[in-house]
Amino acid sequence: MHNALLQRLGLAHPIIQAPMAGSSTVAMAAAASNAGALGSLALGASNASQAREALAQLNGLTDQPFNVNFFCHQPAVLDAARDEAWLRHLRPFVEEFGGNIAAPLKEIYQSFVVDTDMQQLMLEQPPAVVSFHFGLPAPAVIQALKQAGVFLMGSATNLDEARQVEAAGLDAIVAQGFEAGGHRGIFDERIDEEIGTFALVRLLARHCRLPVIAAGGIMDGQGIAAALQLGAQAVQMGTAFLLTRESNANAAYRDLLKSPRAAHTRVTAAISGRRARGIVNRFISEIDTAEAPPIPAYPAAYDAGKQLHALASAKGDHGFGAHWAGQGAALLRDGHTTAELIDLLVQEWQAAR
């Protein structure tokens, strides 16, 4: 298959291994890139020092192009009264495990839009691809990265966001459908049109001039073939890689992904402060209720969520984790390396063509 996106990046296959903070790894990204796909390094929750180390490791494992992904949310506006009300809401669960959540809640990582150290690192060591989630950095940052020769991608969940990505001068649009696992890439937290992947791909392919990358619910070669038929030039797959040997998903997460519960996912903001899709667990079913008070800003809410998860896990209850997964999670295959899975996906896709 030949298209502008693959030719520009020198990829053998129209597959991007999605950046998944906490689950994807340097080893996964290297294996994906070495297999002819585009591996991705998730640095949204990292600082510049951690990022520098990860880049050094990745460059030592592959000489192929890879993608580095950042969060471009607006920095958190902390509200002490709102945060205290949320902690009161969590108190019964905290007391169940005999611990405490440290207050006040903190903004546990910086947005790329204000992280000048990370911006400078990307200019000092420009990767082949940089992608943005939750929005876009300042025009000057985009221009500097383009001048450094970086291929830029931005996620979009609707046509308006896609047009913003296009107007900003980026090179490709990641069309994130509502089926996708993990955090929704919505720019404005108050607006989520909840458009499915295939409808979104067709909208963007029709109305935008940039290459479109389909993301959300694609788990096999048949899904890849369908997305490309609808106008995508590549697909981005995350959930599909969660059970690979290079995945950082822990044993409890893997057991959940292999269980019948993987067929039941829901979008919630309660875990982190921003809408994200995960397997329904105690956090989603018992904390994200109609009676719950307003959720703290992202990622301060994540500070509380991670502390509660740590308390519960120490007592053997894994029902409060961020078990992100897409709507196709019940289609997961287990027992493969990243390279083996990509080979299987390519075989399926070619057969489906």
Provide the pLDDT for residue 166. 98
Sheet architecture: strand order including 172-176: 15-17, 234-237, 212-215, 172-176, 151-156, 129-133, 66-71, 39-42
Residue 290, classed as helix, strand or coil, is coil
Q: Which residues of the chain have pLDDT under 70?
A: 1-2
Provide the pLDDT for residue 3. 83
What CA–CA distances, in Å, run from 97 to 63, 108, 286? 47, 23, 15
Provide the pLDDT for residue 4. 85
Provide the pLDDT for residue 16. 98
Q: What is the DSSP string of 113-150?
A: TT-HHHHHHHHHS--SEEEEESS---HHHHHHHHHTT-
pTM exceeds 0.85, yes or no: yes
Beta-bridge mates of residue 133: 71
| H-run or E-run covering 47 | none
341 closest CA partner among 66, 31, 42: 31
Provide the pLDDT for residue 2. 59
In angstroms, rounded to a whole number, what is the distance separating the alpha carbons of residues 340 and 310? 33
Provide the pLDDT for residue 44. 97
